Structure 1
Amino acid sequence: MRIALGLATMGGLLCASAAQAEMAIALVSPGIYRGPAPQCADDYRQLSRLGVQTVLDVRSFRRRQRERECACLKSYGIAYLNVPVSFRPQRDGSAERALRVLRDAERRPIYIHCEYGRDRSGLIVGLYRVRCEGWSLRAAYCEMKRFGFNSRLRGLERYFWECARR
């Protein structure tokens, strides 16, 4: 079976228009969403339809992608913040900076992402669950794993277990 795809472009981004599934966005709490990095015009439209006011990108590399994302979001009237979270957040306080942004009600509705929406964003959402919503460490960690958190990223996992209750 052959499927024809129509392609749309925006800011140099190609996207399969009709046949592509929507970006996997999950509601964390009222006004807070999480998922992967937006890749194409359809993804930016989806964020706009949700009423997202701010996108929090916690990737620590890929400068050109960040610049492109910032320009695309601006065209939809969505603010872009990059708070790079390293894979060793104990050393640089990066996870705490990202969590402060996520907690800021003035920036909501907010969408947090890293590259795939699993590891760095999973850590920040896990910290939010424990510190702001009173979740147990175990419940928050189970949710992190359900969203694909990679426990082999020892720096992120260690930070969660050692620092979530601060």
Structure 2
Amino acid sequence: MKDTSEVPIRNFHQVTEWLYRGGQPGSDGIKSLAEMGVKTVISLRWGKKTIATEKSYVEAAGMRFLSVRLNYWNLPTQQIIDDFLGLVDHEASRPIFVHCLHGADRTGLLIAIYRMAKENWPVEQAYAEMKKHGFHRFRIRNFKWMLWKYARQAKEDGAIK
């Protein structure tokens, strides 16, 4: 793993050799991502103006920008989960940076689902990582519920062990 302590992005962490997570990057953060060789930025933000502004900065820095709109009030659909997993599976898009505003809740949920679906992590381990990176487990309980629901359904469907 790389030393990421100097990256000027709130809650920035390396997930795998090619996957990073964090909060909303500013212009310095976007510059750092480009310098690190990140090819794709996936935003989980849902405000249209926020998305448009970030898209212009990311593309100006030579990276690809993708938006997977996710908010706190609606749980991600299976289609959103499948789209996200498909995006991170696309090797030509790597390295990838995934973020929401704080890099804790929406990012935490989708990274936890990635860990279970692609790295065979048990739900308890994936949830522990969510908490480690700042998941607001009392304020956003529905995401915790969603994680366990996903684990149960994915096991029934044979998608995870």
Give the TM interval when normalised to the shorter protein. Answer: 0.7 to 0.9
Residue 100 of structure 1: how far off its partner (Å): 2.4
Report the secondary structure of 2:69's partner residue.
coil
TM-score (norm 1): 0.79
User: Once the two structures are aligned, what percentage of the paired residues are identical?
Assistant: 30
Q: Residues 5-31 of structure 1: CA distance to partner in whole angstroms, max 9, x if unpaired? A: xxxxxxxxxxxxxxx972242110011
Q: CA deviation at 1:150?
A: 1.4
Say yes or no: does 1:37 pair with 2:14: no
CA distance in 1, matches of 2:13, 2:100: 14
Bigger strand share: 1
Q: Do the aligned residues in 1 keep the contact of 2:39 with 2:94 (CA within 8 Å)?
A: yes
1:52 aligns with 2:34: no
Pairing 1:63-142 to 2, within 5 Å after superposition: 63-87=48-72, 88-89=74-75, 93-142=79-128
Residue 91 of structure 1: CA displacement?
A: 5.0
- Structure 1 position 156 matched with structure 2 position 154: no
Q: 1:91 to 1:139 in 2, by over 3 A?
A: closer
The structure where helix makes up a greater share of residues is 2
- Mean alpha-carbon deviation: is it higher for 98-107 or for 129-138? 98-107
What TM-score results when the alignment is normalised by the length of structure 2? Answer: 0.82
Aligned residue type for 2:37 = G
Distance 1:65 1:73 in 2: 12
Aligned residue pair count: 145
Gaps in structure 1 of 5+ consecutive residues: 1-19
Code of the residue aligned with 2:63 in structure 1: it is I
SS of equivalent residue, structure 2 residue 15: strand
Give the structure with higher Rg (CA). 1
Q: Deviations over 1:105-138 (max 9, x none)?
A: 2211000001110000100100111111111111
Query: What's the CA shift for 1:44?
Result: 1.2
Kept in 1: contact 2:7–2:32 (CA 8 A):
no
Q: Which amino acid aligns with 2:134?
A: G
Going from structure 1 to structure 2, the CA distance change for 1:131 and 1:80 (only over 3 Å counts) comes to: same
Aligned-partner SS, 1:111 = strand
Superposition misfits of 4+ residues, deviation over 3 angstroms: 90-93
Letter in 1 for 2:144: E
